[in-house]
Amino acid sequence: MRDFLLARGCQLLYQQAIDPAIGLDFIRLSHDDTGLGIDMEAITTDYEEEAIRRATFLDATQPVPSATPEDLIILKLIANRSKDHKDLIDLVVMTGLDWPYIRRWAEEWQVTDRLEDLLTLTADDERRGPV
């Protein structure tokens, strides 16, 4: 997939191999013309397998599926980078989120405290649906 995207105008920004015997497990690319960022992750856990299964196409022109908002929330809670915090605030106020799914995986990844802090922070946001 990496070579496919590189041949179609993407630039490799970062790649990581935690275990070189297994190969790359994370790749970050950027599309030269659009500036669109692309993160790809190898499946190494049950959660990642579930997230890939649930991935959807944002529109008919998108060549690869994207993680659902619920899975983006989980992935960003796990990463816990400062640059993810604004994204998380924007994500948790979306309506129609599958909160039992989010809570299940937050518990599994032991990031429930981060999720609760985030929900407390956005509690007064009228855009957020029921949790």
Indicate whether 129 pLDDT > 70.
no
Indicate whether 43 pLDDT > 90.
no
Residue 3, sorted as left (phi over 0), alpha (psi -120 to 50) or beta, turns out to be alpha
Q: Give the model's pLDDT for residue 36.
A: 80
The model's confidence at residue 97, banded by pLDDT at 50, 70 and 90, is very high
Q: Give the model's pLDDT for residue 52.
A: 85
Domain boundaries, the chain: 1-42, 43-131
Q: Give the model's pLDDT for residue 11.
A: 85
The mean per-residue pLDDT over the stretch 70-80 comes to: 93
The model's confidence at residue 24, banded by pLDDT at 50, 70 and 90, is low
| Residue 33 CB coordination number (10 Å) | 8
